[in-house]
Amino acid sequence: MSVRVSMKVNGKPVSADIEERTLLVTFIRENLRLTGTHVGCDTAQCGACTVHLNGKSIKSCSIVAMQAEGGDILTIEGVARPDGTLHPMQAAFKENHGLQCGFCTPGMVMNALDFAKSHPSPSEQEVRESLEGNLCRCTGYHNIVKSIMAGARAMAASK
């Protein structure tokens, strides 16, 4: 059965006819071809699919697209400035070598952006706790933690 969904993604209105069971992440990747949002697992553990729904980070593999009807979605493709300049959090990941293979990275950045809103100067411990739902197999988290601490401070400073 097909159903029509409409929402805003990275500031643009989008709509499509999709199967009811279509996950939000599938809608984003397959229908909208925004392939920066990744799928790393099937048990909502890895966080590679993290996007923002109405300003809050969610795992887009764990809801169907219909649940985001009318919502405002931000994916990794919508984070940098329109001229391509990296967001301070993205820049912090680059400066601190917070990524290696890049596959978990979009989810890490999306989660960190939400976290930093409420933690302008987070401690190492707070950052590690914030990463409970985001798995990385490359970095050992060391540089991700540094990136998020630096990114959060840069975001607070640029306000």
> Distance (Å, rounded) from C-alpha 36 to C-alpha 157?
27
- The least CB distance from residue 43 to another protein, in Å, is 5
CA atoms within 13 A on the CB side of 63: 17
Distance between the two ends of the chain, CA-based, in angstroms? Answer: 46
- Smallest separation, CB 113 to another protein (Å): 12
Residue 131 touching another protein (CB under 8 A): yes
39 counts as binding another protein under rule CB under 8 A: yes
Q: Take residue 88 and report the two structure tokens written for it.
A: 């301070």
Residue 19 in the binding site for another protein (CB under 8 A): yes
Asked if 104 is part of the footprint of another protein (rule: CB under 8 A), the reply reads yes
Residue 71 binds another protein, judged by CB under 8 A: no
140/15 Cα distance (integer angstroms)? 39
* C-beta closer to another protein: residue 55 or 102: 102
Q: Does 80 bind another protein (CB under 8 A)?
A: yes
12 class by beta-carbon count within 10 Å (0-12 exposed, 13-18 middle, 19+ buried): exposed
Stretch that binds another protein, among 65-73, 75-83, 114-122, 151-159 (CB under 8 A): 75-83
From residue 131, how far is each of 18, 28, 71, 72 by CA, in Å? 32, 23, 25, 24
Taking contact as CB under 8 A, which single stretch among the options 1-9, 52-60, 115-123, 128-136 is the one that binds another protein?
128-136
